[in-house]
Structure 1
Amino acid sequence: MTTTAAPGVFSRPYRACTLAVGSTFVLVAFAGLALSTVMPIAVQDLGGLGLYALAFGGFLTTGIVGTVLAGGWADRRGPAPALCAGLLCFSGGALLSGTAASTLPFLLGRYVQGLGGGAVTVALYVVVGRFYPTKLRPRMFSLITACWIVPSMVGPPVAGAVVQGLSWHWVFHGIALLGVLALALLARPLGRLRPDGVGESPGGGGRTSGLRVVPALAVALGAGLLQYAGAQSVPYRVAAAATGLILLAAGLRPLLPPGTLRARRGIPSLVLLRGVSAGAYFTIETYIPLMLVNERQWSPGMAGMSLTGAALTWFAASWLQGRPRLPWPRERAVLIGALVHGAGAALALSGTLRAMPAVTVAVGLAVAGFGMGLLLPGVGVLTLEHSPTDRQGRNSASLQLSDSLSSVLLVGLCGALFNAAHVRAGQDTAAFAAVFATALAVAAAAGPIARRITLPHTEEKKNHATV
């Protein structure tokens, strides 16, 4: 009996797909870090500092719709068409924001970009789920995380240099061009991918995904109305908030596993944990560049380097949890990640105090990033392990939706808090402290939820017996 070495993600059967996924994630990473770096300058230039949260939250809101639409499309036609359409929307939205001379077209471009970003993300995860065997998926998750390293080092300083040498508009123009180039480079390898993928029949789940579009639209509209209600002194804010809550209540239930909001053991708690942790982290990450620029007079490039440090610690933790033999059970790694994430959020909050050095905030984000590097990949792996084969796609989509929705709602809530406490640039210590304290309160809930991600022992045995 002879044995052969197991193929890797860069072996001949998977090389083209791996390069396609990796290069697209590099684009997404570079765009996210570069645009986060220039966003404080862009919104101030357009006179829309109070709409800072909408620029980020709106991106995530439309991303919810893009996620569901792309999921159904990928089930029916394979991930390549959805990925190409998503890249076109992403580039078109960046171009629209880059040419904007006022707040409204700028926000509209961000929303179009979010629609494309949601489609790109889910299409890439469908590629990983369909075209790689189970043993190669953890390696792909590690590779995906590694795709953030170079962009994290060059994205913020390049964006800062472009802003200082030209203007923030050219950063958006550059992102649009990179999206088109990525589409041209990836079209050929993606065209070779079989629509049905590995271990899954073509068209499976398309009907289910299609039925989820209407509730996704309701949730996105509801989240958008809540953001609108929390932005400055807008008219009809009470009516908008009430309508948003109604739409959320009506649309959320079909999109999440039963018992998610009650932290039911197993898949529901995994989905809730993904949303809670991602919402807290993304909120802190969103406001740190603005705080460092406005309150501590850092340059946009220097402020963006705080994102670089967090990306590096995130990768280090992801590499650690992706080792073939973990020194502890994966559930414990997820719990440790949740606790470290909370500690980082607490450190970032302490950095808002004038008595603390500004670098404290950046260190807090780096610590939180390490926690997320342990937590998020583990949540994804455990979700696939606990899911029957015919529910893996739906449960993975629920993870992404929980991530986006929690981030949208928390960023919107913190935007309302920031606007309420806002005085003027340089005197907003209380406003930033309110934002970071809210994020910390949410991050603190991740620890108790992480203790409920494992099914009860009897249910575990039953599930293994069924498989």
Structure 2
Amino acid sequence: MTTTAPAPSRLWSPERRWPTTGILLLVTLVAFEVMGVGTAMPTMVRELKGEALYAWPFLANLAASVMATVFSGRLSDRRGPKPAILIGVVLFLAGLVVAGIAENMTVLLAGRVLQGFGVGFLIVAIYVLIALVYPEADRPAVFGALSAAWVVPSMVGPAVAGWATEHLTWRLVFVGIVPLVLIGSVLLVPVLKKLPPHAETPPPRKHLPIAAVAVGLGVAGLSWSLQHRTWWMLVVALLLLAPALRILLPKGTLLARRGLPVTILARGLLAGTFFAVESFIPLTLTVVHGYSPLEAGIPLTLSALGWASASMWASRHPEIERYTLVRFGFLLSATGIAAVTLIAPTWGPAHLTLVFWAVAGAGMGIATSSVGVLMMAASPEADRGFNSAALQISDMLFSATMIGLGGVLVLATAPTAGVVVLNLSMAALAVVGAILTGPRMRATLKA
């Protein structure tokens, strides 16, 4: 009996070499901006005399990104990804330039809002473009590479941004990547010109613009209220989010309904559980174990390496069902999260954080790229934009919520007690995700 080896990926074939390079370059630059700005922000606000507004550049960017995600999804469903990509590139470039020349906090905030709109338009439209350019057999490889492109900047972005800020100027964090964004955009021009006329008509969706604004303000308000324990704002944020999510997420998402809804939910659970725990690993290592900031950041770097490596491994095994990989990824992530709980007390094996968090990162790499493949497989052409936007909203919503709740827990108690409760809760939630992604996610392939 003979077996046929799977056909090699055509990501780098002559007709797809440049769009693949352009997509990965743009996503890498977006990720670099997300990771690098945090390192440079203290210097920015000090120079612009905006210390009292420190959180606002992050919140304004988050709100704009969430809103643009919705608008990009709708535009991509109605007219294809080309207009949304062009709008995204123009807004992102404008935001980089405006922030880079800012002489006061008002201008910096305007730049961050423009960047957020640009990122929101770009990411969703790129997902839709992938569905049009790459056949289904190649999508695991595309999403694996896309996952790595998001993660690799987390290893070098903060260091590069920190070096530029310390030795040159923080403005390079913005304007320094403008030429590369232009190159990535130019590489996409040929494939955008060749896209066939968009013929699908998306189903009508009432109140979408209002819901987009509500969810953007709601996610930003939720993040602020949990970080600052502003309970009245939490109530306002929830009142904004509740009706908006009914419009912007597939029906049954929060109830883990079979098929597409549980796939969208899985993305949120993966991101929320992982990033909630990761946010407090450096704090635990520095406060409880006396690590330096540099030493405390090493586990996060190794986790990023595990994420990128695992996503590429998953992309090279198309014979494995994607829902199986999602379940396996959830379990790996849960294992790493639970194991990291051991470092919370002073007697914990802090040196093993390197191993524990690399395991969790590998789980994320395997699962997140597979979720993207499953989402696209369940999406008719007329709904690809809407569903891609829903995937991003789920990610941002759960991340903001879980990180905020983690902050409430850790700041309300001694770090050790808060971290133990947070980590065990997130590990349990990841196990729930593994349970949900069995039969329910299998239905995605038939959707």
TM-score, normalised on structure 1? 0.79
> What pairs up with 1:7-86 in 2 under 5 angstroms?
8-38=10-40, 59-86=61-88
CA contact (8 A) 1:314 1:372 kept: yes
CA contact (8 A) 1:277 1:443 kept: no
> What pairs up with 1:92-171 in 2 under 5 angstroms?
92-93=94-95, 110-147=112-149, 151-166=153-168, 170-171=169-170
Distance in 1, matches of 2:375 and 2:30, equals 24
Per-residue deviation at 1:356? 3.3
Q: Name 1:204's counterpart in structure 2.
A: 200
Unmatched 5+ residue regions in structure 2? Answer: 1-6
Per-residue deviation at 1:311? 1.7
CA pair 193-128 structure 1, distance change in 2 beyond 3 A: same
Distance in 2, matches of 1:321 and 1:440, equals 27
Which of 35-44 and 16-25 deviates more? Answer: 35-44
Q: Of the candidates 303, 314, 317, which is equivalent to residue 310 of structure 1?
A: 303
Q: Name 1:425's counterpart in structure 2.
A: none
Which of 383-392 and 342-351 deviates more? Answer: 383-392
Q: Of the candidates 188, 192, 217, which is equivalent to residue 186 of structure 2?
A: 188
CA pair 112-282 structure 1, distance change in 2 beyond 3 A: farther
Q: Name 1:221's counterpart in structure 2.
A: 217
CA RMSD of aligned residues (A): 3.9
Per-residue deviation at 1:369? 0.9
CA pair 83-329 structure 1, distance change in 2 beyond 3 A: closer
Residue type of the alignment partner of 1:260: T
CA contact (8 A) 1:160 1:301 kept: no
> What pairs up with 1:212-251 in 2 under 5 angstroms?
212-232=208-228, 237-251=230-244
Per-residue deviation at 1:139? 1.8
Distance in 2, matches of 1:299 and 1:319, equals 32
Query: In the TM superposition, what whole-angstrom CA distance separates every residue of 1:351-371 from its partner, at most 9, and x where no partner exists?
Result: 343333554445443221111
Per-residue deviation at 1:380? 1.9
Residue type of the alignment partner of 1:411: I
Distance in 2, matches of 1:85 and 1:97, equals 18
Per-residue deviation at 1:24? 1.0
Q: Name 2:4's counterpart in structure 1.
A: none
Distance in 2, matches of 1:41 and 1:290, equals 21
CA pair 106-407 structure 1, distance change in 2 beyond 3 A: farther
Number of residues of Structure 1 aligned to a counterpart in Structure 2: 440
Q: Name 1:177's counterpart in structure 2.
A: 175
CA pair 105-113 structure 1, distance change in 2 beyond 3 A: same
SS of equivalent residue, structure 1 residue 367: helix
Query: In the TM superposition, what whole-angstrom CA distance separates every residue of 1:438-459 from its partner, at most 9, and x where no partner exists?
Result: 36523422323333335579x9
* Sequence identity (%): 35
CA pair 413-82 structure 1, distance change in 2 beyond 3 A: same
Q: Of the candidates 250, 258, 275, which is equivalent to residue 257 of structure 1?
A: 250
Unmatched 5+ residue regions in structure 1? Answer: 422-429
Per-residue deviation at 1:134? 1.5
Query: In the TM superposition, what whole-angstrom CA distance separates every residue of 1:106-165 from its partner, at most 9, and x where no partner exists?
Result: 666545433322222112212211222222212212222343576455334333433543
CA pair 69-188 structure 1, distance change in 2 beyond 3 A: same
CA contact (8 A) 1:153 1:308 kept: yes
Q: Name 1:337's counterpart in structure 2.
A: 329
Residue type of the alignment partner of 1:154: V
Per-residue deviation at 1:96? 6.0
Residue type of the alignment partner of 2:339: L
Distance in 2, matches of 1:163 and 1:92, equals 21
Residue type of the alignment partner of 2:208: R
Q: Does 1:274 align with 2:273?
A: no
Which of 129-138 and 29-38 deviates more? Answer: 29-38
CA pair 32-258 structure 1, distance change in 2 beyond 3 A: same
Q: Does 1:404 align with 2:396?
A: yes
